[in-house]
């Protein structure tokens, strides 16, 4: 019964990641069609604009043209997120952690597809109020997930929850006692 529940969770997770990646790629496709070579579209004057940008680097434009590094980092982070998703307790209390892992995978995969296919990532949201770097839907997945992860570990999960979040880690620690 337990392995059946986990298998359903994994299949559902794969479907959710696929839907999120399709949404990300669709919004990037719309950005190419409607924004490339066009003036910015002001959504909320002085706050939010739609601006086409081909990002060949990471956040804030750092590490320009280092595609091999981004691909390597993708496999490291997404591999860790997938392992975490498969290992974390299936208890309903830990559903937010499993969802965060899926959104991180979807965000990483969405940007990886751009890097492999185009050699750059299509960005198009510009938060002009604070002159924030231009970003895309995949970036939103990852950023919001990380903020939620920090919040959950600071305010929601307790020390005793760690046995359920990282069961293998605690099993190894107890065996060494």
Which of 104, 123, 108, 101 shows the shortest CA–CA distance to 27? 123
Contacts of 116 (CB under 8 A, 6+ apart): 71
139 is catalytic: yes
Q: How far is CA 76 from the centre of its chain?
A: 13
Which of 96, 124, 111, 95 shows the shortest CA–CA distance to 20? 111
Residue 24 and residue 145: Cα distance in Å, rounded?
15
Contact present, 5 and 90 (Cβ < 8 Å): yes
Catalytic residue among 91, 139, 163, 168: 139
Contact present, 40 and 50 (Cβ < 8 Å): yes
Using DSSP's 3-state secondary structure scheme, residue 9 falls into helix
Residue 64 and residue 75: Cα distance in Å, rounded?
19
Catalytic residue among 24, 91, 114, 123: 123
Instruction: Count other Cβ atoms within 10 Å, centred on residue 21.
Output: 22
Name the residues annotated as catalytic: 123, 139
């Amino acid at each position: 019964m337990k392995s059946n529940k986990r298998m359903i969770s994994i299949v559902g997770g794969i479907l959710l990641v696929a839907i999120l990646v399709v949404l990300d790629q669709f919004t990037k496709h719309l950005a190419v069609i409607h924004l490339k070579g066009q003036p910015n579209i002001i959504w909320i004057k002085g706050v939010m604009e739609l601006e086409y940008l081909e990002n060949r680097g990471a956040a804030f434009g750092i590490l320009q043209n280092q595609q091999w590094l981004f691909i390597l980092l993708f496999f490291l982070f997404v591999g860790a997120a997938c392992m975490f998703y498969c290992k974390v307790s299936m208890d309903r209390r830990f559903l937010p952690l499993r969802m965060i892992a899926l959104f991180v995978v979807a965000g990483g995969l969405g940007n990886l597809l751009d890097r492999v296919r185009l050699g750059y990532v299509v960005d198009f949201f510009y938060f002009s109020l604070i002159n924030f770097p231009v970003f895309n839907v995949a970036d939103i997945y990852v950023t919001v997930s990380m903020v939620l992860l920090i919040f959950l570990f600071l305010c929601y999960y307790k020390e005793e929850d760690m046995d359920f979040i990282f069961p293998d880690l605690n099993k190894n620690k107890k065996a060494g006692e």
